[in-house]
């Protein structure tokens, strides 16, 4: 047995472990995102800056928890990105690397946008003495604008994640060590996220009407990959064959 074969088999066992860890981190990402969206949606009153700001300030610890959940979700998704790069590198290293860079860009945009959610506390909380030149209504409007800008930043980040999901789906489809159906579902998820981003930038009201139809395929695609990684992992012998070919 050649040294390269032994190395491939060792890496094959490691790949199965990496897949399970990636699935667990994917689950943590999903949970963190759900917590953040639930908290934000419970406090934002569309078109009413005064009510939104009042709710946020009245439930400051909870709102800050939502921000923390979003940051933790982003950190976990970076882990998913790194592990999926390692798992899919034998299929096509260049495309896997490109996908990883796109995902990291999306995570950076998301983390930067999350800072805007602190605006209500800076404008009307402890830092309000520095805002004496503004009326309460103006401060509420600025806080609401910051919160809405965070939503726009989220939409932009989904463009990067849409491209990432599409590329990962293509790699999974070609891999041979994960089901092609999961790859197809991930490509559909990527297309959905991209459609959502472009619609949100071009025609926001139309994007809101599309959202229920976009969230469904996007959620199914990413959840299918998450569950497969978490409970099944990768086909070890098939991954070893790919790894041997890549090393050769």
- Residue keyed to tokens 């980040």: 157
Domain residue ranges in the chain: 3-247
Please give the Cα distance from 85 to 80 (Å, whole number): 8
Please give the Cα distance from 183 to 163 (Å, whole number): 13
Instruction: Over range 203-207, report the average pLDDT.
Output: 82
**pLDDT tens column, 101-146:** 999 999 999 999 999 998 888 887 655 566 777 787 888 888 888 8
**SS in 3 state form for 8-71?**
HHHHHHHHHHHHHHHHHHHHHHHHHHHHHHHHHHHHCCCCCHHHHHHHHHHCHHHHHHHHHHHH
- The reply to whether the predicted model has a pTM over 0.85 is yes
């Amino acid at each position: 047995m050649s040294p390269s074969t032994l190395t491939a088999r060792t890496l094959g066992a490691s790949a199965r472990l990496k897949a399970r860890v990636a699935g667990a981190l994917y689950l943590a990402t999903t949970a963190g995102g759900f917590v953040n969206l639930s908290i934000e949606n419970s406090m934002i009153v569309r078109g009413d800056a005064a009510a939104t700001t009042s709710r946020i300030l009245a439930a400051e610890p909870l709102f800050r928890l939502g921000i923390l959940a979003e940051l933790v979700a982003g950190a976990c998704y970076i882990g998913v990105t790194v592990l999926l790069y390692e798992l899919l590198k034998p299929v096509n290293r260049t495309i896997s690397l490109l996908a990883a860079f796109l995902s990291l860009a999306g995570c950076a945009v998301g983390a930067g946008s999350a800072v805007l959610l602190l605006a209500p506390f800076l404008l009307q909380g402890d830092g309000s003495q520095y805002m004496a030149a503004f009326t309460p209504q103006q401060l509420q409007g600025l806080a609401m604008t910051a919160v809405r800008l965070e939503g726009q930043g989220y939409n932009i980040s989904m463009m990067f994640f849409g491209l990432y999901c599409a590329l990962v789906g293509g790699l999974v489809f070609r891999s041979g060590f994960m089901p092609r159906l999961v790859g197809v579902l991930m490509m559909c998820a990527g297309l959905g996220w991209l459609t959502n981003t472009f619609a949100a930038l071009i025609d926001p009201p139309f994007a809101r009407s599309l959202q229920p139809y976009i969230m469904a395929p996007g959620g199914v695609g990413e959840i299918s990959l998450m569950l497969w990684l978490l409970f099944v992992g990768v086909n070890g012998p098939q991954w070893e064959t790919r790894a041997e070919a890549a090393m050769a």
